[in-house]
Amino acid sequence: MLGNSFGRMFRLTTAGEAYGPALVAILDGVPCGLPLTEADIQPDLDRRRPHQSPITSPRKETDQVKIVAGVLDGYTTGAPLALIIYNVDTPREHFEQYRAVSQLMLPGHAHYTYHVKYGKYRDWVSAGRANGRETAARVAAGAVAKKLLGRKGIRVVAYTKELAGVVCPEMDFEDIVANVESNMARCPDQKAAEEMIARTMEAKSEGDTVGGVVEVIARGVPAGVGEPVFDKLSAVIAHGLMSIGAVKGVEIGGGFAMTRKRGSEIHDIPYVENGKVRFRTNFAGGLLGGITNGEDIVARCAVKPTPTMRRPQPTINMLTLEETTIAGQTRYDVTIVPRVVPVAEAMMALALVDSLMMYRGWQSFVEE
């Protein structure tokens, strides 16, 4: 299986399956001298783990991270950083539940494409690496990236912008930071959150699932970061966000809504403030030509409803090609949108650290 790494100078490689012994993250390019313990990483994993609310999976994973390489006496050594998260809630009965439907295609999931690609050797236990559990390793690595960004005054926050058709109103960055963890929907607006939860619980009562939109914002990124053409920072961010399971679309700044406006309505007008160039609006989402302009980087990702559901769905047996039905008997999230929030933060942070390292390296050779 290829495609398990992300980044160029700050490179993450993950391994591990949904019901395997453990998940592993290896970060290459971590600078030496960064104070780092498990306590720096655990809070983000606690935000992502299941069994936190009625709308998330009841799987009881503790997601306790262990640093097994790259740190000595509480500081990074400059060697590859290795993180491990053991799976602890993997009872044999669930293996048998998955075995019973291993030949059936789950609509909306990667069962069929994995069957085509890997045949009889595919991991059919909760879809292996196609399961959202894989993202725990990303979140662990992302916490390290966020700590590095914090040293440069850069903050990254994500939140539920839309869930079950309910949209969070526009909010100030600091209000988002202060309130995003105030409810199970991870929506910083309490009124919108209550309606989101009510609609999600309604879907749950009907054996169905819902999706939504996660917005991620990076504040404090200096102007000039990102490489033109193929390695635009916008492209790197989109790559990271699109690689999250269940994400079906990414937009930057004004995104698709800009297509319904005139140019005069969406061009960000520059001005000077305290000797620095600023922009009166941010339709560009902090990026022009794929390079940062100093404003907030704003990206949104569309998260589809969870494929597994109690409601029976028509399907086929992938071996016999006979038509049948399938209904979720195993544990699942009514929506994964709130749990995607820390994953989106992680991918944004990883993309930014990698791009900043490339920018600083190039910049060091530029003649004054």
Give the whole-angstrom CA distance, residue 95 versus residue 219. Answer: 44
Exposed, middle or buried by CB within 10 Å (0-12, 13-18, 19+), for 73?
A: exposed
Q: What local confidence, expressed as pLDDT, does residue 329 receive? A: 65
DSSP secondary structure letter of residue 188:
S
How confident is the model at residue 289, as a pLDDT?
A: 95
| Predicted TM-score of the model (pTM) | 0.94
Other CB atoms closer than 10 Å to residue 263's CB: what's the count? 7
Domains of the chain with CATH codes: 5-363 (3.60.150.10)
Position 88 scores a pLDDT of 86
Q: How far is CA 118 from the centre of its chain?
A: 25
> By the 8 A CB rule, do 154 and 219 touch?
yes
The per-residue pLDDT for 1 is: 81
Q: Which two tokens stand for residue 339?
A: 């749990």
Query: CA angle 287-288-292, nearest 5°?
Result: 45
Alpha-carbon distance 44 to 65, whole Å? 11
Q: Are 29 and 11 in contact (CB under 8 A)?
A: yes
* pLDDT score recorded for residue 44: 96
* Beta bridge partner(s), residue 276: 273
Written as tens digits, the pLDDT of the chain (368 aa) is 888 999 999 999 999 988 889 999 999 999 999 999 999 999 999 999 887 888 888 778 889 999 999 999 999 999 999 999 998 877 777 778 878 888 888 888 888 898 898 888 888 777 778 888 899 999 999 999 999 999 999 999 999 999 999 999 999 999 999 999 999 999 999 999 999 999 999 999 999 999 999 999 999 999 999 999 999 999 999 999 999 999 999 999 999 999 999 999 999 999 999 999 999 999 999 999 999 999 999 999 999 999 888 888 899 998 899 999 988 666 788 999 999 999 999 999 999 999 999 998 878 777 65
Taking the C-alpha atoms of 74, 80, 242 and 103 in order, what is their torsion angle to the nearest 10 degrees?
Answer: -110
